[in-house]
Each structure stands twice: as C-alpha cells, then as structure tokens.
Amino acid sequence: MISSSSDHPASCSDMSLREIPGDYGWRFFEPIKDRYDYFLQPRQGPFISSNPRVVAVLDSKSFTVLFDNTKVEKKNILDGTYMPSTAFFSGYRVCAFLDTAESNHHALKSFFLSFLASSHMKFIPYLRTSLSELFVNLENDISDKKSADFNDNSDNMAFDFVFRLVTGVNPSDTKLQSKGPGTRARI
C-alpha cells in the first residue's frame, strides 16, 4: 500500500492527466443505464421477486444478526443485490463489495480507518471550507443565471474536499484545477 519515494517519479509535474474510466457514453444515457442496472437487473430473480432474500432488522437485539457471516452473505453487495461492473473500478473489487471474511477487506478497512484517524483534525475544517464554497457557488449561479445546478456544484465540492483531505492542497492550485471531477469539463 505504501511504497518508498524511489518508486515515484522525481516531480509530479511530469505526470500527465488521464481521463477517468467508467463512462457509458453520452450523458443522456448514463442515468438511464444506471437505473436499468439498479432496478431491473437484480441478481436474485425478477424485480420484487417472491423470495427476495432480504434481512429486516426490527429492533436493536436483532441488529447483531447483520454481523454474523453464517447468516448474512456480504460478498459483492452494498445496497441490495446491485453491484456495478468492476470495469467502473478498473477491474478491482473495492472494499465496500468485499466480504468481511476476505483478507483484503480487513487490510483495506484498516488502511482507510488509519488514514481517517491521522487526518481527523483536518476533516471538519476542510468540510466547512468546501461547504462554504459550495453555497457561495450556488448563490453566484443563482444571481447570474437565475438557476443553479446543485449536482454539478456538489460533485465539485465533494472532489475538492476529498482532494484537500488526501493531499492537503486545493485542487485549483494544481494542474487539475476544476477538471478533476469530470463533471464540468473532460480532460
């Protein structure tokens, strides 16, 4: 997970920008394809089948059943029976879709939690800064165009927040600028 500095190029300015994979094509068809995959292509039978194999938690005592691997299968699921193609994640099964019994799940979860623990002092200030910028951008859009696209603005806010949290640098101060999330401009 962590490599020595000799494995990396001498400067980050030499690295070229690449398009992020996982595109279905035209923007019009992407949401339709996502909804089709999510609602109409469940793995365990037809939509709203007679045996959906779901777990209903009724009270706090029965909540512990969710953590029992012998009673609940957690492989390749996060929300119901839907799992996006691994091509969306460059061929990898990310931590959210790994079963808790798999060795990679524990290693990745430990890595993420240690990262969050090490950056806990930056989390709230960066989040407040990003949210403030989001609302300023929304207000500017409304005053200029009389409407604002919340989804584009919130996508950019989320990217800026995560980028700052991971690197400690504002993406507008780098070569990426506003092209990072891919929502406003493709690289």
* Bridge partner list, 82: 79
CB 182 within 8 A of CB 18: no
Mean of the per-residue pLDDT values for the chain?
Answer: 75
Residue 4 scores a pLDDT above 50: no
Please indicate, yes or no, whether residues 33 and 67 belong to a single structural domain of this protein. Answer: yes
Residue 171 makes CB contacts below 8 A (sequence gap 6+) with 159, 160, 163, 164, 177, 178, 180
Residue 105 makes CB contacts below 8 A (sequence gap 6+) with 95, 98, 99
Please indicate, yes or no, whether residues 24 and 69 belong to a single structural domain of this protein. Answer: yes
| Domain around 97 | 16-101
Please indicate, yes or no, whether residues 66 and 138 belong to a single structural domain of this protein. Answer: no
Please indicate, yes or no, whether residues 20 and 96 belong to a single structural domain of this protein. Answer: yes
Please indicate, yes or no, whether residues 70 and 132 belong to a single structural domain of this protein. Answer: no
Please indicate, yes or no, whether residues 24 and 92 belong to a single structural domain of this protein. Answer: yes
Boundary-marking domain end, from 68, 101, 134: 101
Please indicate, yes or no, whether residues 20 and 95 belong to a single structural domain of this protein. Answer: yes
Q: Is residue 110 part of a domain?
A: no
Residue 173 scores a pLDDT above 70: yes
Q: Is residue 106 part of a domain?
A: no
Q: Give residue 32's pLDDT.
A: 73
Q: Write the DSSP string, 17-72.
A: P-PPS---SSTTHHHHHHHIIIII--SSSSTT-S--------STTGGGGGG-TTT-
Please indicate, yes or no, whether residues 96 and 26 belong to a single structural domain of this protein. Answer: yes
Higher-pLDDT residue of 162, 13 = 162
For residue 101, the 8-state DSSP code is T
Number of domains in the chain: 2
Residue 6 scores a pLDDT above 70: no
Please indicate, yes or no, whether residues 69 and 146 belong to a single structural domain of this protein. Answer: no
Give the tens place of pLDDT for each residue, 133-154. Answer: 999 999 999 999 988 889 888 9
Share of residues in the chain with pLDDT > 70 (%)? 64
